[in-house]
Chain A
Amino acid sequence: KQEVTQIPAALSVPEGENLVLNCSFTDSAIYNLQWFRQDPGKGLTSLLLIQSSQREQTSGRLNASLDKSSGRSTLYIAASQPGDSATYLCAVRRLTGGGNKLTFGTGTQLKVEL
């Protein structure tokens, strides 16, 4: 059974700092990995999706990397801003199976302070 873990559970940084969020998964037979942002009481916003054949994806100040063989992904946020404060979730889709379900991690709650 796939288990997804995120470290740290919570992180507080000053504005402008670069930071890395970590995601690990136990079963490397994944189809892709997706990073989401969740604001309090709100839905999930997709940030980046990395296919299993890719090593990284970039969108603006965000860069996600994937090392499938070691079961790890990182989300790098450059020049953090207070508006980046949210919970960040990673989720993996398994390689086989018709349902395309996502298995989510525990989340990292990020606070960027002025």
Chain B
Amino acid sequence: EPEVTQTPSHQVTQMGQEVILRCVPISNHLYFYWYRQILGQKVEFLVSFYNNEISEKSEIFDDQFSVERPDGSNFTLKIRSTKLEDSAMYFCASRPQGPDTQYFGPGTRLTVL
């Protein structure tokens, strides 16, 4: 069964560094999302992406964050200058046209030191 994949599974970085988290959504899906989960807290929406543009973003998704679909398969989340509070599990999700079920990847654990 097709799955959403994410790389790396764990990323450790120094505060102030740029990180890029990568996702490969399911191939025929058209809607893409990023969520994050700080340890012990709720899963929070960051951004949704459709037709090569952001369709919605949360207040968390400030100028330090950006998303891109550089080719037909990858979907990336970039954090330009990481802060300690960016440490979290980042989940990518995708869904096809029509059915509403969002399919989540296994996550990337980001640790900012």
Hey, what's the 0/1 contact readout for B81-113 against A, CB within 8 Å counting as 1? 000000000010101000011111111010000
- Whether A43 contacts B100 by the Cβ 8 Å rule is no
B106 neighbours in A (Cβ, 8 Å): 42-43
Question: What are 28 inter-chain pairs, A to B, with CB distance below 8 A?
Answer: A36-B104, A41-B107, A41-B109, A42-B106, A43-B91, A43-B105, A44-B91, A44-B104, A49-B100, A49-B101, A89-B43, A91-B43, A93-B100, A98-B50, A98-B55, A99-B48, A99-B57, A100-B31, A100-B48, A100-B56, A100-B95, A100-B102, A101-B33, A104-B35, A104-B42, A104-B43, A105-B42, A107-B42
Interface residues on A, range: 20 to 34
Residues from chain B with a CB closer than 8 A to the CB of A43 are 4, 91, 104-107
Interface residues of B (CB under 8 A from A): 4, 31, 33, 35, 42-45, 48, 50, 55-58, 91, 93, 95, 100-107, 109
Main secondary structure of the interface of B (DSSP, over half): strand
Chain A residues positioned under 8 Å from B55 (CB to CB): 98-100
Chain A residues with Cβ below 8 Å from B57 are 99
Give the most central of B43, B56, B58, B101: most A CB within 10 Å. Answer: B43
Q: For residue A99, which residues in chain B have a CB less than 8 angstroms away from its CB?
A: 48, 55-57
A46 touches B44 (CB 8 A): no
Q: Cα distance A34–B101 when bound, in Å?
A: 8
Contacts of B93 in A (CB 8 A): 44
Q: Are B45 and A103 in contact (CB under 8 A)?
A: yes
Cα-based distance from A103 to B48 in the complex (angstroms): 13
Instruction: Report the Cα distance A101→B31, complex, angstroms.
Output: 11
**Are A32's CB and B100's CB within 8 A?**
yes
Closest residue to B45 on the A side, CB-wise?
Answer: A101
Residues of B within 8 A of A44 (CB): 43, 91, 93, 104
